[in-house]
């Protein structure tokens, strides 16, 4: 079977509602979801690239600013370091403090640079010349300063380097600056001098700060000397930077204060220096902006799915509701319930189908009315005929039976005393009385009918002696006075068992009449079995008897009584109740009569 055939088979098994929902899912939901996923992924990629490009651009901006400032500060340090007057001052041994201060005041280059360049926060010259004390830009090297790593590095090399350095004010507030540090060359002098130029943090903030991005910078493996977020001053880099890589560059994501953000790290090689400045730029709002836009896209996709979905749901319930109403009405008509609803909602093909159903039901009702009328007429004729046949049967006393009975009474009277004669005459009288009393009546009790059969069988036992024995078996607990039965219904069956079932038996013949009840198909039924242990019947003979019981044939002389009994049962209790005959050769025959207990109790 092909895939198309399999899908068609599965689709055909679904209800209309399931089919409509399936079509909606395949035609609307799946395409919207696929297109939506493509757009979301594509938009996410485009917006991510957009924010990363902006972040990289801002990082480049900061890198250019720092390169410009550090280059300018380096040029200033060159002018200061090779100023002849300054070098002469640093190597001279002053005796008087006044001479030292006067000489410092005459060197205007330091004041000029501090005053004219806003990017310079402070210029300091550290010297170990014992004759030079702390005055203006000159700082005497103490033991603590001499032990500092930056000072040791400065006096051990002639090159320039940069350092992030902190200082505290009188209130113990800590501040950080980017500082240029270099050794001032002193020819033929035992002293050392180190120039430190601090770049103004406020100046950097004015040039670098951005309302959208956070920028931080550190020198080599040091801590942040600058940060847009003041809490990060003195903190280490948040990313594991490979400091051995000459031009380290990183673009990606990181966690910042509990949220995801874009980050870009780049390396700035300072002018004429081995120091490297690592610039870290963060975008806190990038992911939030992307999430906001993606949320709007998702909302639009959901609305595009839900609005048609709600409309499809409303229409599906309306349409399937009408289909179910039409189906229910058709089901009622199939169960011969023709009381249809008067109106059907809508004005389409379903309404036309319901109108056709109403016309069909009306035609069926008219046809059934005609058939029912014909059946009533036929049943009235059958009832009249059955009444005539019953009266004929009730009035028909077999002359041979009367003759043989009287002959038996005569022989008994001849060979025995008067007691047996009296008994025989009594039984015959009871039998005749039951027949006469029930001529023209409709129902009698099961108990009275069984008593009549018992009288009949006692008469037969008087007639045949040991050849025939009779036994009655009634289920314990059965109240036979509650069940109504047609009169003279069982005696012909018992007579038939004697005449045909025990005809060939010389002795040991036995008739058993059993009464019991069973529950079948939620109905309580009363069973009456008349069983003989006679010769039984072959299958062919049994089938012929069953056919004769069901089909009337006035030309035959046998089975008329059984046919009449069968017809009387069906006419009074319905077509489902009748005579059943079971027989096996040399084992005997059972004639079973089945009655509905509910109808028997109603009478």
- The domain limits of the chain are 50-286, 438-602
| pLDDT over 70, % of the chain | 88
Mean pLDDT of 499-524: 84
pLDDT band at 212 (very low <50, low <70, confident <90, very high): confident
Asked: is 50-286 a CATH 3.30.450.20 domain? The reply is yes
**pTM score, two decimals?**
0.55
What is the per-residue pLDDT across 299-341, written as a single tens digit (0 to 9) for each? 999 998 889 889 888 888 888 888 888 788 887 778 777 778 8
Categorize the per-residue pLDDT at 401 as very low, low, confident or very high, splitting at 50, 70 and 90. Answer: low
How large a percentage of the chain has pLDDT more than 90?
A: 33
* Tokens of residue 15, six digits: 């209800």
Range with lowest mean pLDDT among 9-23, 82-96, 401-415, 435-449: 401-415
Do 471 and 510 touch, CB atoms closer than 8 A?
yes
Q: Is the pLDDT of residue 30 over 60?
A: yes
Span 99-105, average pLDDT: 91
Q: What's the pLDDT score for residue 169?
A: 76
Q: What's the rounded mean pLDDT across residues 32-38?
A: 90
DSSP letters along 387-427, please?
HHHHHHHHH---HHHHHHHHHHHHHHHHHS-HHHHHHHHHH
Q: How far is CA 586 from CA 66, 161, 513, 533, 546, in A?
A: 126, 131, 19, 8, 19
Contact yes or no for 140/90 (Cβ under 8 A): no
| Residue 168 confidence (pLDDT) | 81
The tokens 């509701």 sit on which residue?
A: 321
Extract the tokens encoding 208: 């670098």
**Pick among 3.30.565.10, 3.10.180.10, 3.40.50.2000, 3.30.450.20: CATH of 438-602:** 3.30.565.10
Instruction: Classify 593 in phi/psi space as left (phi over 0), alpha (psi -120 to 50) or beta.
Output: beta
Helix (H) or strand (E) holding 562: helix 560-573
- Mean of all residue pLDDT scores within the chain: 84
What three-state secondary structure class fits 557?
coil
The pLDDT score that the predictor gives to residue 250 is: 92
Q: SS3 for 92?
A: coil
Four-point Cα dihedral 560, 565, 571, 577, nearest 10: -120
pLDDT at residue 433 tops 80: no
Query: In the predicted model, is pLDDT for residue 423 greater than 80?
Result: no
């Amino acid at each position: 079977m092909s895939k198309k055939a399999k899908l068609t088979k599965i689709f055909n098994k679904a209800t209309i509602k399931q089919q409509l929902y399936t079509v909606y899912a395949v035609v609307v939901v799946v395409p919207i979801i696929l297109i939506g996923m493509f757009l979301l992924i594509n938009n996410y990629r485009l917006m991510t690239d957009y924010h990363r490009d902006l972040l990289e651009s801002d990082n480049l901006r900061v890198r250019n600013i720092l390169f410009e400032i550090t280059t300018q500060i380096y040029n200033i340090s060159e002018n200061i370091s090779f100023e002849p007057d300054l070098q002469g001052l640093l190597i001279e041994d002053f005796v008087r403090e006044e001479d030292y201060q006067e000489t410092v005041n005459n060197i205007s280059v330091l004041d000029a640079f501090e005053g004219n360049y806003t990017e310079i926060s402070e210029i300091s010259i550290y010297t170990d010349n014992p004759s030079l004390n702390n005055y203006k830009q000159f700082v005497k090297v103490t033991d603590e300063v001499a032990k500092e790593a930056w000072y040791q590095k400065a006096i051990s090399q002639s090159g320039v380097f940069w350092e992030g350095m902190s200082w505290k004010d009188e209130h113990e507030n800590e501040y950080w600056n980017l500082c240029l540090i270099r050794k001032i060359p002193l020819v033929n002098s035992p002293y050392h001098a180190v120039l430190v130029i601090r770049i103004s943090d406020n100046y950097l903030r004015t040039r670098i700060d951005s309302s959208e991005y956070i920028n931080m910078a550190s020198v080599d493996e040091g801590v942040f000397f600058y940060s847009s977020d003041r809490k990060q001053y003195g903190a280490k880099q948040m990313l594991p930077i490979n400091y051995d890589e000459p031009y380290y560059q990183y673009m990606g994501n990181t966690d910042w204060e509990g949220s995801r953000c874009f980050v870009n790290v780049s390396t700035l090689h300072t002018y004429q220096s081995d120091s490297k400045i690592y610039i870290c730029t963060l975008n806190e709002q990038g992911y939030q902006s992307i999430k906001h836009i993606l949320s709007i896209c998702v909302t639009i996709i959901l609305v595009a799915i839900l609005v048609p979905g709600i409309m499809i749901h409303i229409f599906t319930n309306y349409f399937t509701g009408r289909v179910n109403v039409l189906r229910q009405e058709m089901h009622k008509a199939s169960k011969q319930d023709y009381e249809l609803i008067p109106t059907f909602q809508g004005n389409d093909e379903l309404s036309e189908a319901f109108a056709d159903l109403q016309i069909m039901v009306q035609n069926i009702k008219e046809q059934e009315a005609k058939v029912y009328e014909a059946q009533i007429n036929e049943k009235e004729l059958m009832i009249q005929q059955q009444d005539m046949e019953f009266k004929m049967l009730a009035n028909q006393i077999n002359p041979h039976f009367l003759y043989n009975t009287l002959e038996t009474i005569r022989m008994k009277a001849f060979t025995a005393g008067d007691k047996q004669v009296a008994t025989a005459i009594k039984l015959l009288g009871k039998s005749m009385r039951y027949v006469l009393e029930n001529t023209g009546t409709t129902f009698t009790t099961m108990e009275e009918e069984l008593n009549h059969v018992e009288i009949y069988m006692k008469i037969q036992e008087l007639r045949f002696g040991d050849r025939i024995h009779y036994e009655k078996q009634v289920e314990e607990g059965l109240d036979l006075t509650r069940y109504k039965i047609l009169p003279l219904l069982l005696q012909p069956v018992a007579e038939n068992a004697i005449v045909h079932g025990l005809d060939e038996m010389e002795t040991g013949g036995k008739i058993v009449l059993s009464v019991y009840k069973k529950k079948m198909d939620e109905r309580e039924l009363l069973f009456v079995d008349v069983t003989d242990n006679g010769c039984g019947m072959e299958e062919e003979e049994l089938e012929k008897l069953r056919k004769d019981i069901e089909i009337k044939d006035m030309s035959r002389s046998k089975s008329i009584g059984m046919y009449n009994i069968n017809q009387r049962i069906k006419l009074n209790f319905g077509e489902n109740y009748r005579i059943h005959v079971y027989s096996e050769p040399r084992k005997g025959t059972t004639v079973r009569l089945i009655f509905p207990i509910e109808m028997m109790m109603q009478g």
